């Protein structure tokens, strides 16, 4: 089990499965607001849904309207449960605040893998690696 300390952008406590993107995410045009599925061409998460996940990515990008896309996802119950950034920027931060999505930044996101069980609790992020057949994940 790993404990990482970051900076609170939107306070809250939440627990779920990590979905990790090594690339920045732009919500406007990058994530389908109706389904929560990443649609940006060439994006490493393309085809995967952010709904109900602890979404882990370096930073946001793109249009400021992206804040409203997060809000819309939350309204439809398709938003990420929590957000972890290496370094956050205004679009995703504002989106998380207006959508009540707990969010932390200042985290070394290379420590987290897709499928890990992650808890965000205020400024603390707890990571538990879960063994999964056929994925090559290691149990700690």
Interface residue list for other proteins (CB under 8 A): 7, 9-10, 33, 64-65, 67-69, 71-72, 75, 88-91, 93-94, 97-98, 105
Active site residue ranges: 63
CA distances from 85 to 18, 92, 109 (A): 12, 9, 7
Residue whose CB is less far from other proteins, 103 or 127: 103
Minimum distance, C-beta of residue 71 to other proteins, in the bound complex (Å): 5
Beta bridge partners of 51: none
Strand order in 82-85's β-sheet?
Answer: 2-5, 124-128, 117-121, 13-20, 54-57, 82-85, 103-105, 7-10
Residue whose CB is less far from other proteins, 21 or 67: 67
CA distances from 74 to 32, 81, 98, 111, 140 (A): 13, 9, 10, 27, 33
List Cβ neighbours of 22 (8 Å cut-off, separation of 6 or more). 44, 57, 58
Minimum distance, C-beta of residue 35 to other proteins, in the bound complex (Å): 14
Minimum distance, C-beta of residue 94 to other proteins, in the bound complex (Å): 5
Minimum distance, C-beta of residue 81 to other proteins, in the bound complex (Å): 19
Residue whose CB is less far from other proteins, 77 or 136: 77
Residue whose CB is less far from other proteins, 92 or 112: 92
């Amino acid at each position: 089990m790993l404990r990482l300390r970051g900076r609170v952008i939107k306070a809250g406590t939440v627990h779920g499965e990590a979905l990790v993107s090594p690339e920045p995410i732009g919500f406007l045009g990058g994530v389908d607001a109706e389904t929560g599925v990443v649609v940006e061409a060439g994006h490493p998460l393309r085809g995967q849904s952010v709904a109900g996940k602890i979404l882990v990515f370096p930073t946001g990008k793109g249009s400021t309207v992206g804040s409203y896309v997060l809000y819309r996802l939350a309204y439809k119950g398709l938003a990420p449960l929590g957000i972890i950034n290496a370094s956050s920027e205004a679009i995703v931060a504002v989106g998380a605040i207006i959508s009540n999505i707990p969010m932390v930044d200042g985290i070394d996101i290379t420590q987290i893998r897709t499928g890990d069980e992650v808890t965000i609790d205020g400024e603390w992020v707890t990571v538990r690696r879960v063994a999964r057949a056929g994925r090559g994940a290691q149990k700690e």
